Amino acid sequence: MLTGDLLILEPYDDDLTYVRDLGLIAPKAPVRVANPIYREVIARVLSSSIQESVIADPRSFVRADGTFDFPKVLAEFAEWWMENGDFLTGRGYYDEAAPQLIFMGYLQRVVNGGGYVDREYAVGTGRVDLQIRWPFKAPDGSRQVQRAAAELKVWRDGRPNPLSRGLQQLDRYLDRLGLDTGTLIVFDQRPDAVDITERTAIITTTSPTSGRTITLMTC
Task: Report residues of the chain scoring pLDDT below 70.
Answer: 3-12, 92-93, 95, 122-126
Task: Please check whether residue 17 lies inside any domain of the structure.
Answer: no
- Residue 84 has a pLDDT of 92
- Residue 47 has a pLDDT of 83
Task: Please check whether residue 54 lies inside any domain of the structure.
Answer: yes
- CA dist 33 and 205 (Å) reads 33
Domains in the chain: how many in total? 1
Q: Are 51 and 106 in contact (CB under 8 A)?
A: yes
Task: Please check whether residue 19 lies inside any domain of the structure.
Answer: no
- Residue 124 has a pLDDT of 59
Task: Please check whether residue 8 lies inside any domain of the structure.
Answer: no
Task: Please check whether residue 178 lies inside any domain of the structure.
Answer: yes
For the stretch 13-64, pLDDT in tens is: 777 788 888 888 888 877 778 788 888 888 888 888 888 889 999 999 999 9
Task: Please check whether residue 23 lies inside any domain of the structure.
Answer: no
* 194: containing domain: 36-218
- Residue 4 has a pLDDT of 67
- CA dist 219 and 202 (Å) reads 9
